[in-house]
Amino acid sequence: MKPLDELSRRIVVALQQDGRASWTSIAARCDTSVPTVSRRVQQLMDEKILRVAVMPALGSTGTVETFFVRIGCRPGTQLRVAEQLVARSDVRWAALVTGRYDIALEVVVGSGPTRYPRTMLELQRIDGVERWYSDLLLHVYKVSHQWSRQLLDESAVPEPEPKLCSPEHLDEVDWAILDLLHDDGRASFKTVAKALDLNESTVRRRFERMVADGCATVSTIVPAPALGLEAETLLTVSVAPAKLDEVAGALARHRSVRYLGATLDGNSLLCEVIADSTRGLFEFTTASLAKLEGVVGWNASVELLTMKRGFVETPWWRGQLADYRSDSADELAALSHLISN
């Protein structure tokens, strides 16, 4: 994927800070004109590089548990399995990865004692699934929606403290608003109000209350390579038990860390890192991670294609999937031609 130019990168960074910011405020922040901002954002959306989505918070539908899952597939079935996983409403994040497993995903289920075993059996019955590993996520230390700011400054950007959202915070009207903003997070309050036969001020007030209460998050989804950040990597970091919080605190402050959570198995931290290059990833592991007292070791997988994030499909993955299949078909056709001749 070709990296965006400097102005488009700045516009994307501004949208990651506030996905519903007005064109006027983004233009002022990026030192450009309102028509330029509007035109560039629309072009990025049309090219399926950018999506602004509104995501309900975990817990807004009741108590849930999150599991990190790795799946190994029968050769040749990875893409078909991935398509079925992405279609599931309980899959929050999914990516094709390198390493011993082919697909990594987050699965969010109700906290009842039988829900996850039932979900696990459903997933394992998908044709092509051969190997399976899952682990319970005990605690999330960091989820960064502003990770691209590392392109513009050297300082770490503090993320807001998470707030707990419970089902009683939202009513049917709130959910109707969230449903309309799920895939188009920049839809105007006027458009949403018209669709729901409400006053624009009512929609605005309810939305702002949901965001303030931590029941909704506006997220700007964009592939890291488009911003010149080439290395998206999942690290499972083994840590001495007594040092878990200390190591997590140090990693959470690092500007390259997009996600950080504690897992049940092996006193481990699940860490998603975005670096500008393979060399940048090497510097992170050797100059930062390896020098943290309490880190015992780690294993890693490169994210090849992110298909879902925050329960929202990434807009680019189906196009890339079609490209992969087209390339494979061309290679098979060329091989058949060679054999027949």
* Bridge partners (DSSP) listed for residue 297: 238
Q: Cα(189)–Cα(325) distance, rounded to whole angstroms?
A: 40
**Domain parsing of the chain, residue ranges:** 64-156+223-321
Output the pLDDT for position 341.
Answer: 47
pTM for this one?
0.87
Give the list of residues 6+ apart from residue 66 with CB closer than 8 angstroms, or none.
Answer: 58, 92, 106, 107, 108, 136, 137
Domain range 64-156+223-321, its CATH number among 2.60.120.260, 3.40.50.300, 2.60.120.560, 3.30.70.3460:
3.30.70.3460
Q: pLDDT, tens digit, for every residue of 167-181? A: 888 999 999 999 999
Q: Which helix (H) or strand (E) holds 85?
A: helix 78-86
Output the pLDDT for position 156.
Answer: 46
Q: pLDDT, tens digit, for every residue of 116-147? A: 888 999 999 999 999 999 999 999 999 886 66
Q: Which long-range contacts (CB under 8 A, 24 or more apart) does 175-182 make?
A: 175/56, 177/203, 177/206, 177/207, 177/210, 178/54, 178/56, 178/210, 178/216, 181/53, 181/54, 181/207, 182/53, 182/54, 182/55, 182/312
Total residue count of the chain as it appears in this document: 341
Q: pLDDT, tens digit, for every residue of 309-322? A: 989 999 999 887 77
